[in-house]
Structure 1
C-alpha cells in the first residue's frame, strides 16, 4: 500500500527504548497508564514521533513528561493552539511534547517529543480509561492494541490517511520492548484470567477473590494485540458505582464538580429455540449501484453480484418468523424502499417482497449509503421489536467516517451487520448472523432513581433502548444538589426491563459518601460518551454542538478531535542547540503493508460476529487461582469488536461474501421458494417437481388419514433438506425450525400424534431421490 515505508537500515537510531503499561480493571472499566521511555543517543537534538492505536472509545485524560528530573504536566488546549505552542517551543529550542488524535476516527493518536537533547532521557506518560466489551461467555475483554495496520482507502481517495509514512519493520526487529501488569478489582469476585500471551500466576491481594494482580510473563510478540479476558464470579449481577467530583472545580453543576454514577447492566439472556421467536424488526439494505452488475470476481461471468445478493435475500426473507417486522432498501446514487416503513411479516407481505426482489437490478448509479441510513434511522422503531440492520455492498464508500458516525449515533437502539459481496465465505454467514439476530434481546429499559430530597439525577447521553446478546450496558448519570438531611447514607436505583414477554426488576443501592480519587474514571467515561454524541453532531455542521464538545473536552480533560495536550519545558535555562532531526518510531508491519482482510484500521482489531468467539491469535494462556496454565488452553485469540462501540458499537463486519454461482436456480432455492411464511409447504405439483417425485406417488404414501397434506408435504421437504442439502445446513436451519414448529403446532391442534412421529426411512419407494437419506433425520421426534 502506498505511503507505508519500511525501515531497512538496522543502524537507524530509534529514540524509544520501552513501553510500560499498568492497568486497573474494575468490572467492565479499565484505567490505563502508558509510560514511554525515550533516550537520545545521537549527537544532536531529536524530535521523536510515535503514531499508535487506541480504542476509539477510550477517554485519554492525562499526559505528562519527566525531563531532566522535572515533571511537567501537559495542558489540554484547543487543537490549533496546542500545535502552535508546540511549534513555537521547537523553534525557540525548548523541549516540548504534544499528544493529539489523528484523523476523524478517534482510534489513532500521535505522541511527539521535540528537542530531546543528546544523551538525555525523557519519560512520557499518558492515561486513558475505557469500557471493556463483553465476550460471549461473559468475560470482560481488555485489549492493548499493539498493531497499527494501514487504513483502507478507496480508489482515487485524496483525503487523509493517518497511517501513511509510518515506518515498518518485521515484528522481531523492533528496537523497543513492552511490558504490562494488571490490577483487578470486583466486589463479586475474580474467577480467572485468560490471555493470548503467557501470564504470571494470578495472585489474590486482599485475602479473598475481590482483588488480584497478574502480569505478562514475557515481552509479547508485536504481530498481535495483547488481550486479557477477565472472568467474574457473578458477571450478571447489576452494579452501581458512585464517584465524587473534583472539589477544586468551583463551577457547581458542571460534570466534573458533581458526583457521577455508573450503572452496569448485564442481564442473563436465555438461548432462544429456533423458530419460536417472533420479535424483531429486520431491515435489509442492498447495494444496487452499477458495480453490482459485474460478474462474481471472474469466477462465473454469467452470475452477477446482484444475483448472488438476491439469492441471499430470498433465504433471509424465508427464514424470518411470523410476527416480526421487515423492510428492504436499495441504494446507489439514490435509494428506494419496498415500504414507507417496516411492515409485519405475513404470507402476503413475504410473497409481495419476493416478487419485487426478483425484479431488482443494479441500476441506481453510485454508492451513496449515508442517505438511506439516515432515512432508516428517522423511521419509527416498533415497540418490543429491536431493530437490526443487514447491509450488503460491494462498493467503495468515500465518506466512511460519516457512515460510521451515523451508525454510532444510533448504537443504543439497533445493531448493524455489514457484508461485502465479493470473494470469500458463503451465504451461510448471513444466515448465521440472522440466527443470532433472532436471539432474545433486552428491551423496555427504564431507570427510577431513589434519592433524598435536594438531589436529582441527570442522564449523560441517551440511555439505551435495547441490549442484544453479547453486549453489556453502562449507563452514566450526574447527581446534582445536596442531600437533605446531609448525612443521608444511601441512594437507590430501580432497573426495569423486558426479555421476551417477561418483565424484570433489579433494585440497587449505593453509598452517597463516595471515596475521593484523582483519576475519576466514571467522570471521564461519562464525558467521552457525551463527546462521541457531540462530535457526531459536529460532523453535520452544528456550531452549537461544536462549542459544547470543545467545552466538555476542556473541562473534563478528555481529548477529542478538537483538542490536544501540549507541554513545554520552561525550567531549562538554555535553549537546546543544534539542528533538530525527526525520528518516526517504527511499528510492526506485514510485507508491503497489505492489510489482513479480517481487520479494520485502528488497533489491529479483528471484526467478527456479535456473540461469536473469535479464532486464531496463537496459543491460549490463563491465570486462575494463583496457578499458571500455559500452552494447552484452547482460547479464542484475537476476537472482535462492534463498531458500536465490540467497541460496544453494534456494527459487525463480515468477510466479503461469495455465493456459489448458479447459472440455473439451485435445487435448494427452488424448494425454499415454495415454503410459506408460516414454515409449511403445500402438497402440489410444484413441490413434487422440486422433490423429484410425482404428486400422485407422494400422496399415495401418506402414512394415515390423520396426517394432512400440508403436514405431509412439510415432512417431505424437511427430509429432502436433510438428505439432499445436508452440506448447506447453515442455509436452511432456520427454515427447518419454522417447518418443525408449524408441524408440531398442527399436530397439537388436531390432537394427532402421527405427524410428529412420521418415520423418514420408508416414506417413498426405494430409488426415490429423497428416500433413505444417509442419516435419516428425526426433527419431528417428540
Structure 2
C-alpha cells in the first residue's frame, strides 16, 4: 500500500487530494478491509472516488446514515465491489473496502478543503499547513468501533507535493519536521486567490513554489508541518467579503466575510493585571515529551510581566497545584516555580484532563481576567465534554476567561489542541520537541497572545443585510469569533438575495475601551463555476450544530435542550446541508454521513457507522482511580 498527497495552497486555503493505493495480492477476494487514518482537523471533504484496476472511476455521493448503511450492506451482500469513506472524529477517517477482487490494485482518492493556521506574530505573516500522518494511542475508553484495533503495516510509503501559489509574495517556505526541497517556477494559470476567482480575465502564467520531500517519500511517524512566510503588504489587513453563486443549484449563494485579527486588536496593549494559570500534562504518555514541556514552561514563567498573579497545575490520573491559590509574580515565587518545573516527571498516570480543568476553573480568582494555558500531547478520547466546558466558561465569564493550548509531540490531537483555543477564545500552537527548530517562536507567539488585553464581546452587525437567523450562518453568535485567528463568517442562501446588487456589507465591532469601529466592506462576486465557499460554509455550520452553538440552539424559539424536538431539528438541518452540499462532515453517532462508491455503474451513498474500526495504534488503558481525581497542593 502507498499514499500520496497533492496540495494546492491559495492564500490561507488548501485544496488537498489524498490518493490511497491498496493491493490484494492473494488468489482470493477480500470481503471487507478497513484502513483508518487522520486528515486535517475540521477539513471539508468534497470528493471521494475509487478505481478498481484499470477500470472506470466511481464517484460517491452523500446520504443520511440509515439509508446509506442499508445501501452499503446491500452492495456487500450482492458481491459488488464497493468503497466507503467515514468520519469517526473531527480528525480521524476510515476507508472501508468491500469485495476486492484477487490480484487487483484498488485506488481511492479523497479531495478536501482545509484552512491554514495563522501565526500570531509581530511584523511577520506566517501561515502553517499541517498534514497529519499518525494516530497515537489515546487515554480513556475509545468509541466502541475502535475495539480490537491493530497497527498499520504502511512504512515508508508517503509522498507529498505542495504547490504554493503567488510565490513572488512569499519570503520563505520551511518545514521543521521534514527535509524538503523548494523550487520556484511558473505554471499554467489556475486561480491564485479569491480575487482571481472573481476576475473574469484569465492570466497566462502564475508563480509557484513547488515543495517536495527531499527523499521522495517518508515514514508515517510524525505530522508534516509546512510554514509559509509572506512579505508584509503595506498597512493593516482589511476585512473582505466574497459572494459565490452556486454553478448548479438555482438561487444558492454563499457569502464569506474574512475578519483579520488586527481588526479586533487595534489599539489594544497588554493586560496590566490578571491571572495566568498553567496546566501541565504529566501523564505516562508524556514520557518522551517532558523536556519540551519543561522548556516551554520555563520560558512561559520567565516571560510573565510584573503585576500578574500565576500558578502551576499538573495533572495525570489526579491533579495538583504548586500553591493553593495564585501568587504574586516575585523573585522568590519565580525561583520556587522553576525549581518545581525542573523536578517534573511523567509519573502521574492517566490523562484525566477534564477533571483537572474543572479544578483550575473552580479555584481561579473570579474578580480578575484569567488566561489558562494547557500543555499536553492531547492523547485522549471523548473531547466533547472538555470543549463544552471551555466554551461554557468563556461564555458565562463574558470573555473574562480565555484558554490557550500548546500541543507537544509528533502526533498531537489537533481536534483537542485547536478545539480548546477555538472554543476558549484563545490561541494554539504545536511543537514536536525541544530540539525542533523554531519552537521558541511558537512559544513566544502563545505567550504574547496570552498577555494581550481581553477585548470582551465581539459584535459584527450584518443582520440587516443577511438575516442570519433566517439563513444558515456560522457562527450564529458572532461573539464566538476569536481575536487571535483569521475569522471567517459564512452565510448560505437558498433564495435569491440582493447582495450582489447592493455591493457591500457593513461591519461593526466594539474595542476594549468601549469605542466602536464601523467599516463598509465591498462584496466581490465569484462568477466562475466553483463551490469552494459553499463547501467551507457547510462545514462550519455543521460544526456549529455539533458543538451546540447553531441558530437552532441560540434562537429565541429554541426547543428544550436535549429534547426530541431539538434532535429532530438538528438532524433535519444537518442532513439538508450535508446532502445538498455533498459534505460528509461528522456530527454525532446519530447524524453522521459518509461517502460510498459501488461498482457496475451504480453510485450509492454512504453511511456513518461501521461494525469496527482499526486505527494505527491501540487506545491507552484506562487507569483512572475508582474514587476519581483529588486536588493536591504542595
Does TM, normalized by the shorter one, top 0.5? yes
| Structure 1 residue 30: Cα displacement | 1.6
Question: Which whole-Å CA distance do the structure 1 matches of 2:445 and 2:228 have between them?
Answer: 26
- The answer to whether 1:548 aligns with 2:536 is no
Question: Which whole-Å CA distance do the structure 1 matches of 2:365 and 2:501 have between them?
Answer: 44
Question: Which ranges in structure 2 are unaligned for 5 or more consecutive residues?
Answer: 194-205, 288-293, 338-348, 409-432, 435-439, 550-560, 603-612, 621-633
Whose relative contact order is higher, 1 or 2, with alpha carbons under 8 Å and at least 6 apart?
A: 2
* Change over 3 Å in CA distance of 1:472–1:367 after alignment to 2: closer
Contact 2:125 2:232 in 1 (8 A): no
Map 1:635-650 to 2 at 5 A.
Answer: none
| Structure 1 residue 446: Cα displacement | 4.0
Moved more, 440-449 or 225-234: 440-449
- The answer to whether 1:27 aligns with 2:11 is yes
Map 1:758-777 to 2 at 5 A.
Answer: none
1:302-339 CA deviation, whole Å, 9 max, x = no partner?
xxxxxxx9xx99x97996643x688999999999999x
* Change over 3 Å in CA distance of 1:260–1:488 after alignment to 2: closer
**Secondary structure of the structure 2 residue equivalent to 1:267:** helix
Q: Which residue of 2 aligns with 1:113?
A: 97
**Secondary structure of the structure 2 residue equivalent to 1:82:** helix
From 573, 584, 587, the equivalent of 1:558 is 584
| Structure 1 residue 370: Cα displacement | 3.4
- The answer to whether 1:534 aligns with 2:545 is yes
Say how many residue pairs are matched.
Answer: 507
| Structure 1 residue 443: Cα displacement | 2.0
Contact 2:165 2:192 in 1 (8 A): no
Contact 1:190 1:209 in 2 (8 A): no
| Structure 1 residue 240: Cα displacement | 2.0
Question: Which whole-Å CA distance do the structure 1 matches of 2:351 and 2:191 have between them?
Answer: 57
Q: What is the TM-score of this pair, normalised by structure 1?
A: 0.51
From 505, 515, 526, the equivalent of 2:527 is 515
**Secondary structure of the structure 1 residue equivalent to 2:478:** coil
- The answer to whether 1:142 aligns with 2:129 is yes
1:332-369 CA deviation, whole Å, 9 max, x = no partner?
9999999xxx999899xx9xxx9xxxxxxxxxx99865
Question: Which whole-Å CA distance do the structure 2 matches of 1:126 and 1:419 have between them?
Answer: 27
- The answer to whether 1:443 aligns with 2:489 is no
From 228, 250, 266, the equivalent of 2:261 is 266
| Structure 1 residue 197: Cα displacement | 1.5
Contact 2:276 2:310 in 1 (8 A): yes
Map 1:461-472 to 2 at 5 A.
Answer: 461=475, 462-463=477-478, 467=482, 471-472=484-485
| Structure 1 residue 32: Cα displacement | 1.8
* Change over 3 Å in CA distance of 1:401–1:22 after alignment to 2: same
Q: Which residue of 1 aligns with 2:151?
A: 166
Question: Which whole-Å CA distance do the structure 1 matches of 2:365 and 2:520 have between them?
Answer: 30
Map 1:321-400 to 2 at 5 A.
Answer: 321-322=306-307, 370=354, 373=357, 385=369, 387-390=370-373, 399=382
- The answer to whether 1:415 aligns with 2:365 is no
**Secondary structure of the structure 2 residue equivalent to 1:525:** helix
1:22-52 CA deviation, whole Å, 9 max, x = no partner?
32x2322222222334455543333553322
Contact 2:404 2:446 in 1 (8 A): no
1:124-181 CA deviation, whole Å, 9 max, x = no partner?
2222111211234421111222x31331335x9896647931323543xx4xx52424
Q: What is the TM-score of this pair, normalised by structure 2?
A: 0.61
Coordinate RMSD, CA, aligned? 5.9
Question: Which whole-Å CA distance do the structure 1 matches of 2:94 and 2:240 have between them?
Answer: 35
Question: Which whole-Å CA distance do the structure 1 matches of 2:444 and 2:207 have between them?
Answer: 38
**Secondary structure of the structure 2 residue equivalent to 1:227:** strand
Q: Which residue of 2 aligns with 1:228?
A: 226
* Change over 3 Å in CA distance of 1:486–1:110 after alignment to 2: closer
Question: Which whole-Å CA distance do the structure 2 matches of 1:407 and 1:163 have between them?
Answer: 32
* Change over 3 Å in CA distance of 1:345–1:554 after alignment to 2: farther
Contact 2:138 2:618 in 1 (8 A): no
1:200-244 CA deviation, whole Å, 9 max, x = no partner?
324376699975323344523225433332233347513424242
Contact 1:245 1:260 in 2 (8 A): no
| Structure 1 residue 512: Cα displacement | 5.6
- The answer to whether 1:203 aligns with 2:216 is no
Map 1:280-679 to 2 at 5 A.
Answer: 280-283=274-277, 321-322=306-307, 370=354, 373=357, 385=369, 387-390=370-373, 399=382, 402-404=385-387, 406-407=389-390, 414-417=402-405, 435-436=447-448, 438-441=450-453, 443-444=455-456, 446=458, 448-449=460-461, 455-457=466-468, 459-461=473-475, 462-463=477-478, 467=482, 471-478=484-491, 487-494=501-508, 497-498=511-512, 505=517, 507=519, 509-511=521-523, 513-520=525-532, 522-537=533-548, 544=566, 548=570, 550-551=574-575, 552-556=577-581, 557-560=583-586, 561=588, 562-571=592-601
Bigger radius of gyration, 1 or 2?
Answer: 1
Question: Which ranges in structure 1 are unaligned for 5 or more consecutive residues?
Answer: 1-13, 298-308, 355-364, 573-583, 588-592, 601-664, 666-782
Contact 1:203 1:213 in 2 (8 A): yes
Question: Which whole-Å CA distance do the structure 2 matches of 1:207 and 1:529 have between them?
Answer: 26
From 47, 60, 73, the equivalent of 2:45 is 60
Contact 1:534 1:546 in 2 (8 A): no
| Structure 1 residue 460: Cα displacement | 1.2
Question: Which whole-Å CA distance do the structure 1 matches of 2:481 and 2:276 have between them?
Answer: 14
Contact 2:49 2:60 in 1 (8 A): yes
Q: Which residue of 2 aligns with 1:180?
A: 161
| Structure 1 residue 97: Cα displacement | 0.8
Q: Which residue of 2 aligns with 1:43?
A: 27
Question: Which whole-Å CA distance do the structure 2 matches of 1:181 and 1:50 have between them?
Answer: 24
Contact 2:137 2:379 in 1 (8 A): no
* Change over 3 Å in CA distance of 1:336–1:36 after alignment to 2: closer
